[in-house]
A and B are shown apart, each in its own frame.
Chain A
Amino acid sequence: DADVTQTPRNRITKTGKRIMLECSQTKGHDRMYWYRQDPGLGLRLIYYSFDVKDINKGEISDGYSVSRQAQAKFSLSLESAIPNQTALYFCATSDGTPTNEKLFFGSGTQLSVL
């Protein structure tokens, strides 16, 4: 079983619809992240959370919101989807250890907004 699980894997939606992407992890990590990946732009940080009560905006948080329901769950919402939010979305976790700052990524969610 995957340590970081994202659902759904693919989603097609229409402009103006609300959509939620979900992420759950079994690694026991406190730190969770949402990134989006666009061709030629690499990975850009949307939101991150260092524990259940900690939510922080990343580089491109406008149009997105998140919820950290539990240590293991971190969901990303698009309140009113627009076409330029079409992208590949990754959830990631890390344990925050200074000498072991590895990010563990989920398999990604390909979102298309028509």
Chain B
Amino acid sequence: QKEVEQNSGPLSVPEGAIASLNCTYSDRGSQSFFWYRQYSGKSPELIMSIYSNGDKEDGRFTAQLNKASQYVSLLIRDSQPSDSATYLCAVNPLYNFNKFYFGSGTKLNVKP
């Protein structure tokens, strides 16, 4: 079983819509969770981190964490064509602090 699972997509949404990206993880003891954005041919860049159950908002991005159900989600409001990228979910298991596990990524297409 993979540590971190994501739907590979592609997820297509119209411009201005809400894009919802989901991620599940296997290690129940995991404590920190991240969303990275990766444009084609580029390196990943961190857009959100979340450590506690609930929602965390940063501009158009909201990360949601539910430790009981072992899932993390990322909502992108007012999606723009420039949001078209692959979104990688990453988890840092408590037992091996600072060793990150990545999902395979979800490709998002925002259509003008």
How many pairs of A and B residues are in contact by the CB < 8 Å rule? 53
For residues 83 through 112 of chain B, which have their beta carbon under 8 Å from a beta carbon of chain A? 88, 90, 92, 97-105
Q: Is the CB of A42 within 8 A of B98?
A: no
* Residues of chain B with a CB closer than 8 A to A94's CB: 98
* Residues of chain A with a CB closer than 8 A to B32's CB: 101
CA distance A56 to B92 in the complex (A): 16
Q: How many residues of B contact A (CB 8 A)?
A: 25
Q: Is the CB of A101 within 8 A of B49?
A: yes
* Residues of chain A with a CB closer than 8 A to B36's CB: 103
Q: Is the CB of B88 within 8 A of A43?
A: yes
- Is B25 on the interface with A (CB-CB < 8 A)? no
* Residues of chain B with a CB closer than 8 A to A74's CB: none
Q: Which of B34, B44, B49, B92 contacts A105 (CB 8 A)?
A: B44
Closest residue of A by beta carbon distance from B3: A59
* Residues of chain A with a CB closer than 8 A to B51's CB: 99
Closest residue of B by beta carbon distance from A99: B51
Q: How many residues of A contact B (CB 8 A)?
A: 25
- Is B43 on the interface with A (CB-CB < 8 A)? yes
CA distance A41 to B43 in the complex (A): 15
* Residues of chain A with a CB closer than 8 A to B98's CB: 31, 50, 94, 96, 101
Given A105-B43, A106-B43, is A42 in contact with B102 using a C-beta cutoff of 8 Å?
yes
- Is B12 on the interface with A (CB-CB < 8 A)? no
* Residues of chain A with a CB closer than 8 A to B97's CB: 98
For residues 2 through 22 of chain B, which have their beta carbon under 8 Å from a beta carbon of chain A? 4, 6, 8
Q: Which of A40, A43, A56 contacts B44 (CB 8 A)?
A: A43
Q: Is the CB of A45 within 8 A of B100?
A: yes
Known: A45-B100, A56-B99. 15 other contacts (CB 8 A): A33-B100, A40-B8, A40-B104, A41-B104, A43-B88, A48-B99, A50-B98, A96-B98, A101-B32, A101-B92, A103-B36, A105-B43, A105-B45, A106-B43, A107-B43
